[in-house]
Amino acid sequence: MQFWSDKQVIVTGGAGFLGSFVVEKLRELGVEEIIVPRSSEYDLRQPDAVRRLFDDAEKNRPAGFKSSNLIVFHLAAKVGGIGANRSNPGKFIYDNLMMGMSLIEEARHRDMGKFVTVGTVCSYPKFTPVPFKEDNLWDGYPEETNAPYGLAKKMLLVQSQAYRQQYDMNAIFLLPVNLYGPRDNFDLESSHVIPALIRKCIEAKEMNKEQVIVWGDGSPTREFLYVEDAADGIIRAAELYNKPEPVNLGTAFEISIKDLVELIANLTGFAGKIVWDTSRPNGQPRRMLEASRALQEFGFKAKTTFEDGLHKTIEYYRDNR
């Protein structure tokens, strides 16, 4: 808390799924000056809007705070599941690239403390050896359905490292695995797998449907990180990590989509049939991160068990849909 007591913080995406938990935890740590730019006021794809954001932060800086007290968390992103990525590859690469590039470029002109970029597991090559190690990041092309999004985020790693080298900018880059938890997006047109399955199973049970249709064949594996654990890891990294190398944030727990569907069906009480739509894509064959660097560098280890996290997510959806 002593580290955060005199900090001013910008959290892009701070009103979103992950960002809202980061903001809450920063407040718990005593941060009073938190700026959450909203898209209606600041279009972060536009350099002029980004410049205005930093100017407004400077105007609102408390007396006695230095510009080096400013930390930026860049969490804002255009995201979605396989369907959304397939339908919007141009928008996903443009919006994510322009937001990040504009923010990092403007930040390097300011005498600020640190810039924290949150990337994505989608940046890894399609056939990365499991568990994914940070050194494997450049060993191939990402899975095609989300490659534009993954590559846009990976370019922000390149920019962060280049700016550290040329401008001595303290920019770090984190690679969280798939997130889940309360406040997730449960819109079936754009949601990721866990919220989509929770909604499908609960609605099927309530409407007495005999089956739930799931994309693919169930063979891919995924790793999932509970959103509050992710927020803890991001804040720990902001406080303690100051190196150019990217860092994975994960749990080292892998589950097949088939087993995931059966677990969510059981937890939601859906007892009907699971129908696999094999005309739909599976996505990347396997995903699981090697998470030892985060433990070694800033002591991060996920605390929430997968089943506990699912219980909390299901409860949230039932209470808030």
The enclosing H or E element of 28 equals: helix 17-28
Task: State the number of CA atoms in the 13 A half-sphere of 299 facing the CB.
Answer: 5
Cα separation, 318 vs 81, in Å, equals 21
Share of the chain above pLDDT 70, in %: 100
| Paired residues of 10 in beta bridges | 35, 72
Digit-coded pLDDT (tens) for 146-162? 999 999 999 999 999 99
| Paired residues of 171 in beta bridges | 115
pLDDT for the residue numbered 18: 98
Distances (CA, A) of 58 to 19, 33, 55, 112: 22, 11, 5, 11
Share of the chain above pLDDT 90, in %: 89
Model confidence at 143: pLDDT above 90: yes
pLDDT for the residue numbered 136: 97
Residue 55 located in a structural domain = yes
Mean of all residue pLDDT scores within the chain: 96
Residue 213 located in a structural domain = no
Residue 204 located in a structural domain = no
| Catalytic residue check, 149 | yes
DSSP class per residue in 215-267: ES-S--EE-EEEHHHHHHHHHHHHHH---SS-EEE--S--EEHHHHHHHHHHH
Residue 169 located in a structural domain = yes
Structural domains of the chain, count: 1
Digit-coded pLDDT (tens) for 193-217? 999 999 999 999 999 999 999 999 9
Digit-coded pLDDT (tens) for 70-93? 999 999 999 888 888 889 999 999
Q: 135-142, long-range: CB within 8 Å, 24+ apart, which pairs?
A: 137/175, 137/246, 142/284
Model confidence at 1: pLDDT above 80: no
Task: State the number of CA atoms in the 13 A half-sphere of 274 facing the CB.
Answer: 21
89: how many CB neighbours lie within 10 A of its CB?
Answer: 16
pLDDT confidence band for 307 (50 / 70 / 90): very high
Spatial CB neighbours of 291, under 8 Å, sequence gap ≥ 6: 131, 248, 249, 250, 251, 252, 300, 301, 302
Q: Could you tell me if 162 and 276 are in contact, meaning their C-beta atoms sit under 8 angstroms apart?
A: no
List the CATH number of the domain containing 160.
3.40.50.720
298 is in which domain, residue-wise? 8-180+224-253+286-304
Instruction: Provide mean pLDDT across the span 135-156.
Output: 96
Instruction: Provide mean pLDDT across the span 302-321.
Output: 97
Q: Strand 33-35 vs strand 8-12: parallel, antiparallel, or unpaired?
A: parallel
Model confidence at 64: pLDDT above 90: no
| Paired residues of 71 in beta bridges | 9, 114
Q: Could you tell me if 15 and 36 are in contact, meaning their C-beta atoms sit under 8 angstroms apart?
A: yes
Model confidence at 281: pLDDT above 80: yes
Q: Could you tell me if 312 and 267 are in contact, meaning their C-beta atoms sit under 8 angstroms apart?
A: no
Q: Which of 42, 94, 141, 149 is catalytic?
A: 149
pLDDT for the residue numbered 3: 92
Cα separation, 186 vs 17, in Å, equals 11
Instruction: Provide mean pLDDT across the span 166-177.
Output: 97
Residue 88 located in a structural domain = yes
* Single pTM value for the model: 0.95
pLDDT confidence band for 67 (50 / 70 / 90): confident
Digit-coded pLDDT (tens) for 226-270? 999 999 999 999 999 999 999 999 999 999 999 999 999 999 999
pLDDT confidence band for 28 (50 / 70 / 90): very high
Residue 49 located in a structural domain = yes
pLDDT confidence band for 302 (50 / 70 / 90): very high
Residue 114 located in a structural domain = yes
Residue 39 located in a structural domain = yes
